[in-house]
Amino acid sequence: QVQLQESGPGLVKPSETLSLTCSVSGGSISNYYWSWIRQPPGKGLEWIGYVHYNGNTNYNPSLKSRVTISLDTSKNQFSLKLSSVTAADTAMYYCARSQVVPAGIPYFDYWGQGTLVTVSS
Amino acid sequence: DIVMTQSPDSLAVSLGERATINCKSSRSVLYSSNEKNYLAWYQQKPGQPPKLLIDWSSTRESGVPDRFTGSGSGTDFTLTISTLQAEDVAVYFCQQYYSTPPTFGQGTKLEIK
């Protein structure tokens, strides 16, 4: 059974960079796509982007200018960096394994428990 | 972006009764070449991450009870829980993966009456 666990700071200052890591256990990070998804308090879900084990990435156009998702196969981990954060980036951040259709669009079959990130000075 | 709209926003159903959640997409998510609907349903229980219940609009994931049924095509979809159990209390989301970026409905909160 694949398990994912997010880690990183729970508080980030405005204008700084949010950095999170997702550790994958119970299976290899190879041969899959790995996504980040966020959920502001009391609101719906927003896909941030994914990374493929070969290093290819795909980002939500609404966040693309601020997002970097990368992979460390040696540690079975992948990471999210979101720059120039504001209060609007306060959310629960989930990592998830993705099933990707030929057009490159994912849905999500395994999720981490999530980590709450608050943007505040 | 494809906008996914769920109805109702919240729903209270008696134990053992049927619950029906609707999801409407702003554009068809039916891919004509393979006749598949690119639509998934998730269940999110309080304090937990979402769990994939159904993909391809009607294919239950392994281990999902058969009281959960997905149906519909094109732009209109339904998640039906045939006989509501206490453990089904959750927020349910639909998601399209037909067009990038993938988008989710706003969620439907299901409670016991």
pLDDT tens, residue by residue, A96-111: 999 988 888 899 999 9
**Per the structure block, which two tokens stand in for B60?**
């239950």
Query: What is the distance, to the nearest Å, from the Cα of residue A117 to the centroid of all Cα atoms in its chain?
Result: 12
For range B52-57, the mean pLDDT: 97
pLDDT band at A6 (very low <50, low <70, confident <90, very high): very high
Q: What is the mean pLDDT of chain A?
A: 95
Q: What is the pLDDT of residue A83?
A: 98
Q: Answer yes or no: do B52 and A108 touch at CB < 8 A.
A: yes
Q: Report the residue of B54, B100, B104 to disrupt the A interface, i.e. the one with the largest count of A CBs within 10 Å.
A: B100
Q: Answer yes or no: do A44 and B105 touch at CB < 8 A.
A: yes
pLDDT band at B69 (very low <50, low <70, confident <90, very high): very high
Q: Contact at 8 Å (CB) between A92 and A43?
A: no
For range B56-74, the mean pLDDT: 97
User: Which residues does chain B have within 8 Å of residue A2's beta carbon, measured at their own beta carbons?
Assistant: none
CB atoms within 10 A of CB A108: 28
Q: What is the pLDDT of residue A42?
A: 87
- Residue among B40, B48, B100 minimizing CB distance to A107: B40
Selection from A65, A97, A104 nearest residue A81 by Cα: A65
DSSP letters, B48-66, are S--EEEEETTTEEPTT--T
- Residue among A105, A112, A114 minimizing CB distance to B97: A105
Q: Contact at 8 Å (CB) between A13 and A86?
A: no
pLDDT tens, residue by residue, B12-35: 999 999 999 999 999 999 999 999
Q: What is the pLDDT of residue B54?
A: 98
For range B57-66, the mean pLDDT: 97
Angstrom distances, CA of residue A68 to CA of A45, A51, A63, A89, B10: 19, 9, 10, 15, 36
**Does residue B104 register a pLDDT over 90?**
yes
pLDDT tens, residue by residue, A8-63: 999 999 999 999 999 999 988 988 999 999 999 988 999 999 999 888 999 999 99
Q: What is the mean pLDDT of chain B?
A: 96
User: Which residues does chain B have within 8 Å of residue A103's beta carbon, measured at their own beta carbons?
Assistant: 98-100
**Does residue A88 register a pLDDT over 90?**
yes
Residues 36-95 of A with CB under 8 A from B: 44-47, 58, 60-62, 94
Q: What is the pLDDT of residue A1?
A: 87
- Residue among B49, B105, B107 minimizing CB distance to A94: B49
Name the residue in chain B with its Cα closest to that of A62: B101
- Residue among A44, A105, A109 minimizing CB distance to B98: A105
